[in-house]
Amino acid sequence: MIELAIGQEVEMEYGGRAQVLGVIGSGGQGTVYVVRYNGMKWALKWYDVDKIRNPKAFRTNIKNNISDGPPSNKFLWPKYLTKENSDGTFGYLMELKPDSFDSFVDILNTYKLTVDPFTGRSSKKPVRFSSLYAMVTAVINIVNAFRQLHRAGKSYQDLNDGGFFINVDTGAVLVCDCDNIAPDGNNFGIGGKPGYMAPEVVRGVAKPNVQTDKYSLAVVLFKLLFRGDPMEGEKVVKDVCLTESSELKHYGQNAVFVYDPDDASNRPVRGIHDNVIKFWRIYPDYIKEAFIRSFTSGILEPSKRIIENEWQKLFIRLRSEIIQCGCGRTNFCSMFERPDIKTFKCPKCGSIFGTLKFSNRNYRTPLYLGSVFYECEIDPDSEDFQTVAGELVENRLKPGVLGFKNTSTKTWRAKMPDGDFYDIPPGKGFPVWQGLQIDFGEVTATL
């Protein structure tokens, strides 16, 4: 435990000094400080080199990551290395997380602790997503970040709840702790965080790699949506005390998913796992099936694990199936009544919602005032899940009349009540009516 003192200066590799201003937090491999360098504030990760198996190789890997640069702007990537001290200790600078982001740990806890600097007393402040939309967007962003990382040929290695910051209002995501990221196949000694580690890593028969990242990613997603541990159910709780050997059993050799359809031995226990019991009922089947696959056949066969692109598609669909009813009820359309194939009905207030059938999907998408669709949903070549392409709005001059507004950069064609197709350039709209057909180019949609 070699700690830096406040006010102490650390020499940077390419000149200049970073001055320590305060402590942010400690982790398994070292401590993170706020420092000032070149007139700006940065985060400095300073290593406890005793806890790193091969500090030289570890340092070289960070150096390589710095020169490769981040896969996207969703990463708080290492920026500058410090000089190595005579005793081998060193660190690196990265950008500070913006204040508008909360740690994933605080989201799981549902609160954060703020400490009064004078009395040292702590108080709890609630942390929760401000909308369902923001939550599902956060999931899409997490999946997308790992897709980008894996496409760059790298694995994260110790994917866990400490690795993300999330803006709970927008769903924006920042991946942090990027210092163990290594070219797929390399490992610098990190095993990962138990509970998130793939069973083969827990058992000691594999090192972290892209395939084990996929398992850990499924755990992260499960925790975010279902707010519980996918492997902790009755079978585990019966052990009362989680010793090292029970851990090897329940997370390695004999890991059983709490909702394994063929093995009911580890179901969630009421009073302990209430979140999981409640949320498992809410999510649509295609989401549950993806988790079942990840945590049943995906346990022993890494190739059966869900790939990021597949997750991304599932969650883009899930986001398009959120209905915000005027009565205040917001939920997935699977939690609304369905009087016929083309409509959803709010079980609380009875409001009726029409649906749109896109030619590239085999399910219908619910429509409500304010519902949107994205570029990637109307253009098969687009991966843009952030730019809104169209929105259901109310006509400003004819209150009560709903229509679609083209917010994309392309011209669409739409069938009007007179039976003819008209060009709909960007910024223009058209009414929703019984016989509506929209031609987006490669994708079409009908009411």
Partner 1 sequence: MSKEKKKAPTANTAPETKAAEAVKAAAMEETAAAADPLDFDDDDPLSATSVSKKSLVIFFLIDTSGSMKGKKMGELNTVMEELIPEIRRVGEADTDVKIAVLTFGTQVRWMYSEPIPIEDFEWARLRADGVTSMGEAFKELSARMSRNSFLNSPSLSFAPVIFLMTDGYPSDDYKPALAELQQNSWYKFGLKAALGIGNEANDDMLAEFTGSEDTVVHAYSGGQLAQMIKIIAVTSAQIGSKSMTLSDDTNHELSAEEVRAAKQKLLGQQIQDSMTNLGDADAVSFDTGW
Q: Which amino acid is at 268?
A: P
Q: Name which of 221 and 414 has its Cβ closer to partner 1.
A: 221
Min dist. Cβ of residue 265 to partner 1 (A): 10
Q: HSE (CB half, 13 Å, CA atoms) of 381?
A: 3
- The residues in 328-347 that bind partner 1, with binding defined as CB under 8 A, are 330-332, 335
φ/ψ of residue 387, rounded to 5: -90, 120
- The residues in 402-421 that bind partner 1, with binding defined as CB under 8 A, are none
**Contact of 212 with 197, CB cutoff 8 Å:** yes
Q: Does 83 bind partner 1 (CB under 8 A)?
A: no
Q: Name which of 239 and 289 has its Cβ closer to partner 1.
A: 239
Distance CA 34, CA 97 (A): 11
Q: Name which of 302 and 431 has its Cβ closer to partner 1.
A: 302
Matching residue, tokens 């994933």: 104
Min dist. Cβ of residue 338 to partner 1 (A): 16
Q: Does 272 bind partner 1 (CB under 8 A)?
A: yes
**Closest-CA residue to 179 (of 49, 7, 309):** 49
Q: Name which of 242 and 443 has its Cβ closer to partner 1.
A: 242
φ/ψ of residue 151, rounded to 5: -65, -25
Q: Name which of 111 and 422 has its Cβ closer to partner 1.
A: 111
**Size, binding site for partner 1 by CB under 8 A:** 77
H or E segment to which residue 302 belongs? none
Q: Which amino acid is at 317?
A: R
Q: Name which of 70 and 195 has its Cβ closer to partner 1.
A: 195
Segments in 35-182 forming alpha helices (H): 55-68, 104-109, 132-151
Q: Residue 79 is encoded by which pair of tokens?
A: 């920026």
Q: Name which of 311 and 336 has its Cβ closer to partner 1.
A: 336
CA distances from residue 426 to 360, 371, 409, 417, 443 in whole angstroms, order as listed: 22, 18, 5, 20, 17
**Closest-CA residue to 279 (of 335, 326, 350, 321):** 335
Taking contact as CB under 8 A, which single stretch among the options 138-146, 221-229, 401-409, 437-445 is the one that binds partner 1? 221-229
- The residues in 353-372 that bind partner 1, with binding defined as CB under 8 A, are none
Q: What x/- string results for residues 14 through 43 when contact with partner 1 is judged by CB under 8 A?
A: -----------x--x---------------
Min dist. Cβ of residue 109 to partner 1 (A): 5
Q: Does 55 bind partner 1 (CB under 8 A)?
A: no
Q: Which amino acid is at 294?
A: S
Min dist. Cβ of residue 196 to partner 1 (A): 10
Min dist. Cβ of residue 63 to partner 1 (A): 24
**Closest-CA residue to 212 (of 224, 201, 223):** 201
Instruction: Name, in order, each residue with C-beta under 8 angstroms of 87's C-beta and a sequence gap of 6 or more.
Output: 2, 49
- The residues in 274-293 that bind partner 1, with binding defined as CB under 8 A, are 274-279, 281-283
Q: Which is it for strands 372-374 and 364-366: parallel, antiparallel or unpaired?
A: unpaired
Q: What x/- string results for residues 103 through 142 when contact with partner 1 is judged by CB under 8 A?
A: -xx--xxxx-x-x----x-x-x---xx-xx--x-------
Q: What x/- string results for residues 291 through 330 when contact with partner 1 is judged by CB under 8 A?
A: ---------------------------------------x
Min dist. Cβ of residue 423 to partner 1 (A): 40
Is the sign of the CA dihedral 208, 96, 108, 290 positive or negative?
A: negative
**Closest-CA residue to 188 (of 51, 2, 87, 48):** 51
Min dist. Cβ of residue 372 to partner 1 (A): 19
Distance CA 89, CA 179 (A): 15
Q: What x/- string results for residues 159 through 198 when contact with partner 1 is judged by CB under 8 A?
A: --xx----------------------------xxxxx-x-
Number of Cβ within a 10 Å radius of residue 304: 13
- The residues in 228-257 that bind partner 1, with binding defined as CB under 8 A, are 228-229, 232, 234, 236-245, 247-249, 251-252
